[in-house]
């Protein structure tokens, strides 16, 4: 088992390294150009935010409409701190500070609302996100609706790539851990949870805080990459964009999130040419995917290397995520 | 194990093939006779109305340039071509679209984006790609200035700076309208509204009775107007766009508030009078880039007639500015006798006495056009007076 | 003092439209537990239908109002049939995304075909201002309030007294049991969408007439506000939606009146969150204990 596990891990590592080398070569020989790099970075940033949101929805069974607010906190933290402290250490510090503030706000919102059933988290987070944005518009230090620009650039695609991989590894391991599986199993049934002696609210709040921190990191990365922030970037629509990635990929399926983030990123590239028609096409894609794949593109299953490469018929259910959602 | 080896082999083939194709593509040198202008316009989303108007203006300019024989450089005739991409009123998308136009479409110059924050997001992309970018309508003072106070080498605009606009509006309010007490309403959702308000406040010598904010998309201004109704003021200044200004105008007049209303160029659209109703659109003054009432240059009147013929509607300030942006790029190409991006950038910086629809323009050291502001007075929904503010 | 009363009147008028929209939200949520994001866009389409009937067909305002309610009701049923019904047994969040898709489709479809610029709504009824002391109210404002109240009364009668209304309540209370009682669930849900959409359309036409301008994105903000109103009053409850709508209207107006216009929306959301913390099911909602 251990040897098999090692082999499995090594194969993943090999695949990820190969992807990294592939992108590196494509950039070195300038085949995908600056635009390709931009697209890869933006996909990576959306990915980090979406994985965080997937954790929240998958773990709590409630959805959040406030991811934009947490991204905004991270973005402005990076914007303000790296402007004052323009070094890579300042940047890393700003990501940590942004994550911390965002996590604290999430804690304050999550503790009361995650206790409730129904769509209350959605409404409360929608409200919080809008409040954050309105405060940013009206504060002097954030320079109001114009936002901040000329933010030092520290983000390159390598950094986003590595961070995305780290985030995915951490989240996947947490979801597959014993407590992660337990939460998912009893998520929708408080009584079962109580009888198992699990404090579901505690884990839901933890997932929510973790999601908020990841959103803040994504926001910080984007601020440094685009080199400007403005409150218009973090409206309700931004939360929706991330939510769509998660649901289209399949709630609880991290690989689904990865695949959808990439597909939607590439779709955006194509749709840029369609002008006003672009959002019409996007809307139709959403409706059609939902009607034909209501559980998302990958449903609740995870892409499993073990199955693909090492399996000869037998089932390894420890890799199939059991977080089925009905 | 076989599968893993298969994957590695496939990987090597893909990488090798990809690089091969890439090099082949690069070596295929092309000598083209088109000048590509990239258009970064928000044709969908919240700023869609403004983006669509500007895209029409830019397309119209290119159509007219080509109809008139294209651009002649060193005896060679080039056709102009717009490559428009939608940035869906999203700043990240505006950066991404700009990069796309530069690195994939290999445009010679860019017209757009529409709003200040979208320009801010696109500046690094344009700078990295060493491509001149001419925003028709971004107003914030600092978009053409770097952190250290130097000029942004690749960023230009056709629009007035917000501070200039605010200052001139204040001057007009005192000198021509002779208002001593004013109420200011500002669009708080963009820098356009707040930027002009700040400059206005600094320059205005009279008394500001009240400053109130609204958000783009608001329709109900009853509360705001009820609050000021019983106060004493001689004029209302609306720093925002025609969409909300039209609604404010209608509701104010319905309430019996008949003082003069003064606004920036955002009010300059025929829709203002349509939304407010003609009978309510009197005693209104807005900063105009062009006006058939007092054509700034001889380019204005033919533009309006031709545009009406082509699209069967009146051009707005947005349309005219985008139109001029394209013509300025053409001017820069002809002046420098080159379609090279660096040359166009240099040419744009040197533009002098350019005869545009929106006035005679000269680029200052910070890539802002120096042109005079015309305050157009509206009576019964029609432009009736024009005052040049020096 | 008269200013405060005037602001209160302003708030009630603004709130009437939120209330009309919130009713549709609350009915749909009550019956299929869906936050129907496309509801605000049906309101927008209602306004465009009204525009079409008055501007192009030159119909009388009230006929146009009724017609656009009818057309929107059909549209609501169509949306339900195409985008929500196939997802009846799917996760709720899938329906939510489908609703978002419909919302994007309506907004951007309109903007593609008719441009995203504002259209001036024909002034079918001349504005007349009435003065009562220092207070001021126009005939159109009175029309909005009276139409809203009439429609609410009508809705209450439908829900309480008719067979369809009883079916709606039954489906909302327990879908399984309703099926066992021989209620056609699909028809009932369809009917709910029709009613909700008609109310939204009425709101759209009235707003078009009142503010004199309509555009493809006009449903976005009121849509979200109406949703907040429905939650504030107690989602699923018809009197709750009305109460929530008016409350938000008054709140917005009052925050502006006391000089907090920069924080107008923030105040509304903050109050929503505070109320949810103390009364999770909204003002009129009853706290239900989880069944064991």
**Residue among B44, B52, B103 minimizing CB distance to A34:** B103
Q: Note the pLDDT tens digit of each residue in A204-253.
A: 888 899 999 999 999 999 999 989 899 988 988 899 889 989 988 888 78
Q: Please name the residue that has the structure tokens 């064991």.
A: C292
CATH fold of B162-288: Rossmann fold (3.40.50)
Residue of higher predicted confidence among B134 and A192: B134
Q: Note the pLDDT tens digit of each residue in B65-119.
A: 999 888 888 888 889 999 999 888 888 889 889 998 998 888 999 998 998 889 9
Most confident among A133-147, A185-199, B29-43 (mean pLDDT) = A133-147
d(CA B107, CA B103): 8
Q: Note the pLDDT tens digit of each residue in B377-388.
A: 999 988 888 888
- Of the candidates B116, C34, C105, C129, which has an alpha carbon nearest to the alpha carbon of residue A284? C105
Name C81's Cβ contacts closer than 8 Å, sequence gap at least 6.
Answer: C190
Q: Provide the pLDDT for residue A300.
A: 67
**Residue among A190, A283, A325 minimizing CB distance to C108:** A283
For residue C103, what are the β-bridge partners? none
Q: Note the pLDDT tens digit of each residue in A63-118.
A: 888 899 999 999 999 999 998 888 899 999 999 999 999 999 999 988 888 877 66
Q: Is the pLDDT of residue C97 over 50?
A: yes
CA distance C6 to chain B (A): 7
Query: Within 13 A of B223's CA, how many CA atoms are on the CB side?
Result: 26
Q: Does B279 touch chain C (CB under 8 A)?
A: no
B34-159+297-371: CATH number: 3.40.50.2300
Q: What is the ipTM of this complex?
A: 0.86
Q: Provide the pLDDT for residue B29.
A: 46
CA distance A120 to chain C (A): 8
Judge: B93–A276 Cβ closer than 8 Å, yes or no.
no
| DSSP secondary structure string for all residues of A83-111 | HHS-SHHHHHHHHHHHHHHHHHHHHHHHH
A42-310: CATH number: 1.10.3470
Q: Provide the pLDDT for residue A309.
A: 59
| DSSP secondary structure string for all residues of C211-244 | H-EE-TTTTHHHHHHHHHHHHHH-TT-HHHHHHH
What residues in A contact C84, CB-CB < 8 Å?
Answer: none
Q: Provide the pLDDT for residue B82.
A: 92
**Residue among A137, A138, A222 minimizing CB distance to B92:** A222
Q: Provide the pLDDT for residue A317.
A: 40
Q: Is the pLDDT of residue C250 over 90?
A: yes
Q: Is the pLDDT of residue A315 over 80?
A: no
What residues in C contact A290, CB-CB < 8 Å?
Answer: 87, 90, 94-95, 97-98, 101
d(CA B195, CA A234): 21
Q: Which residues of chain B form beta strands (DSSP E)?
A: 34-41, 71-73, 76-86, 109-111, 133-135, 155-157, 181-187, 207-214, 235-239, 261-263, 284-288, 354-356, 359-363, 369-370, 373-379, 382-389
The full set of domain ranges for chain A reads: 1-31, 42-310
Phi, psi of B135 (to 5 degrees): -85, 125
Residue of higher predicted confidence among A295 and A223: A223
The region that residue C282 occupies, defined by phi over 0 for left and psi between -120 and 50 for alpha, beta otherwise, is left
Judge: B116–A146 Cβ closer than 8 Å, yes or no.
yes
The full set of domain ranges for chain B reads: 34-159+297-371, 162-288
């Amino acid at each position: 088992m251990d040897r098999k596990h090692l082999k499995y891990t090594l194969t993943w590592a090999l695949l990820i390294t190969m992807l990294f080398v592939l992108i590196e070569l494509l950039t070195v020989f300038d085949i995908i150009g600056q635009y390709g790099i931009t697209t890869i970075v933006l996909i990576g940033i959306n990915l980090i935010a979406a994985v965080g949101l997937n954790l929240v929805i998958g773990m709590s069974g409630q959805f959040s409409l406030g991811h934009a607010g947490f991204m905004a906190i991270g973005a402005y933290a990076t914007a303000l701190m790296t402007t004052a402290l323009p070094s890579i250490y300042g940047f890393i510090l700003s990501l940590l500070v942004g994550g911390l503030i965002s996590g604290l706000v999430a804690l304050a919102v999550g503790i009361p609302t995650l206790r409730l059933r129904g769509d209350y988290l959605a409404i409360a987070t929608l409200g919080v996100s809008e409040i954050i944005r309105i405060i940013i518009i009206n504060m002097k230090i954030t320079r109001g609706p114009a936002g901040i620009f000329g933010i030092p650039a520290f983000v390159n695609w390598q950094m986003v790539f590595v961070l995305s991989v780290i985030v995915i590894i951490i989240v996947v391991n947490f979801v597959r851990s014993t407590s992660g599986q337990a939460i998912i199993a009893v998520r929708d049934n408080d009584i079962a949870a109580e009888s198992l002696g699990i404090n579901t609210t505690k884990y839901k709040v933890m997932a929510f805080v973790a999601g908020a921190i990841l959103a803040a990191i994504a926001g910080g990365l984007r601020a440094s990459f685009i080199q400007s922030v403005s409150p218009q970037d973090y409206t309700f629509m931004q939360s929706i964009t991330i939510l769509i990635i998660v649901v289209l990929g399949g709630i609880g399926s991290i690989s689904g999130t990865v695949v959808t983030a990439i597909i939607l990123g590439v779709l955006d590239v194509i749709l840029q040419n369609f002008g006003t028609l672009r959002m019409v096409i996007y809307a139709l894609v959403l409706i059609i995917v939902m009607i034909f794949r209501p559980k998302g593109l990958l449903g609740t299953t995870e892409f499993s290397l073990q199955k693909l490469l090492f399996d000869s018929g037998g089932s390894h259910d420890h890799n199939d995520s059991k977080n089925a959602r009905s | 194990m076989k599968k893993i080896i298969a994957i590695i082999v496939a990987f090597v083939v893909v990488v090798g093939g990809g690089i091969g194709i890439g090099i082949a593509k690069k070596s295929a040198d092309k000598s083209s006779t088109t000048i590509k202008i990239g258009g970064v316009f928000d044709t969908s989303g919240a700023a869609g109305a403004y983006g669509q108007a500007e895209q029409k203006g830019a397309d119209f300019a290119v159509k007219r340039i080509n109809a008139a024989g294209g651009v002649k450089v060193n005896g060679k005739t080039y056709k102009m071509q717009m490559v428009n991409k939608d940035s869906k009123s999203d700043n990240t998308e505006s950066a991404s679209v700009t990069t796309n136009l530069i690195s994939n479409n290999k445009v010679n110059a860019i017209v757009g984006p529409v709003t200040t924050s979208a320009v801010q997001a696109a500046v690094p992309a344009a700078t990295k790609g060493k491509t001149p970018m001419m925003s028709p309508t971004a107003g914030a003072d600092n978009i053409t200035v770097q952190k250290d106070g130097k000029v942004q080498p690749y960023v230009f605009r056709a629009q007035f700076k917000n501070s200039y606009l605010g200052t001139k509006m204040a001057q007009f309010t005192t000198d021509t309208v002779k208002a001593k007490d004013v109420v200011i309403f500002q669009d708080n959702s963009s820098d356009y509204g707040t930027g002009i308000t700040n400059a206005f406040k600094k320059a205005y010598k009279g008394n500001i009775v009240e400053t109130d904010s609204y958000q783009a998309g608001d329709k109900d201004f009853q509360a705001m107007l009820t609050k000021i109704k019983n106060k004493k003021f001689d004029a209302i200044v609306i720093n925002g766009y025609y969409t909300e200004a039209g609604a404010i105008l209608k509701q104010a007049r319905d309430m019996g508030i008949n003082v003069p209303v003064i606004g920036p160029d955002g009010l300059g659209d025929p829709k203002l009078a349509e939304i407010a109703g003609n009978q309510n659109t009197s005693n209104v003054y807005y900063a105009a880039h062009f006006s058939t009432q007092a054509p700034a240059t001889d380019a204005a009147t033919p533009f309006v007639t031709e545009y009406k013929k082509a699209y069967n509607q009146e051009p707005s300030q947005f349309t005219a500015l985008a139109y001029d942006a394209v013509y300025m790029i053409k001017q820069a190409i002809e002046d420098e006798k080159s379609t090279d991006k660096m040359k166009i950038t240099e040419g744009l910086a040197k533009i002098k006495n350019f005869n545009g629809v929106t006035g005679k323009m000269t680029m200052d050291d910070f890539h802002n056009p120096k042109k005079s502001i015309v305050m157009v007075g509206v009576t019964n929904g029609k432009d009736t007076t024009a005052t040049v503010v020096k | 003092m008269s200013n405060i009363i005037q602001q209160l009147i302003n708030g009630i008028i603004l709130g009437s439209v939120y209330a009309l929209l919130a009713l549709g939200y609350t009915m749909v949520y009550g019956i299929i537990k869906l936050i129907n994001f496309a509801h605000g866009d049906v309101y927008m389409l209602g306004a465009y239908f009204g525009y079409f009937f008055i501007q192009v067909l030159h119909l009388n305002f009230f006929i146009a109002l009724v017609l656009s309610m009818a057309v929107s009701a059909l549209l609501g049923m169509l949306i339900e049939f195409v985008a929500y019904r196939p997802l009846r047994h799917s996760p709720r969040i899938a329906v939510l995304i489908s609703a978002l898709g419909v919302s994007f489709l309506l907004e951007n479809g309109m903007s593609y075909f008719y441009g995203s610029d504002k259209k001036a709504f024909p002034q079918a009824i001349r504005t007349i201002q009435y003065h009562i002391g220092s207070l001021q109210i126009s005939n159109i404002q009175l029309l909005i309030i009276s139409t809203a109240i009439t429609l609410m009364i009508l809705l209450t009668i439908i829900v309480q007294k008719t067979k369809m209304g009883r079916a709606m309540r039954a489906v909302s209370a327990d879908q399984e049991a309703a099926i066992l009682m021989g209620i056609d669930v699909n028809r009932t849900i369809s009917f709910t969408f029709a009613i909700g959409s008609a109310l939204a359309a009425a709101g759209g036409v009235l707003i078009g007439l009142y503010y004199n301008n309509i555009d493809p994105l006009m449903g976005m903000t009121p849509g979200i506000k109406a949703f907040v109103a429905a939650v504030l009053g107690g989602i699923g409850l018809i009197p709750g939606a009305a109460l929530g709508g008016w409350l938000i209207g008054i709140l917005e107006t009052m925050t502006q009146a006391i000089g907090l216009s920069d924080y107008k929306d923030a105040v509304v959301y903050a109050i929503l969150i505070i109320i949810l913390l103390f009364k999770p099911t909204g003002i009129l909602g009853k706290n239900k204990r989880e069944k064991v």
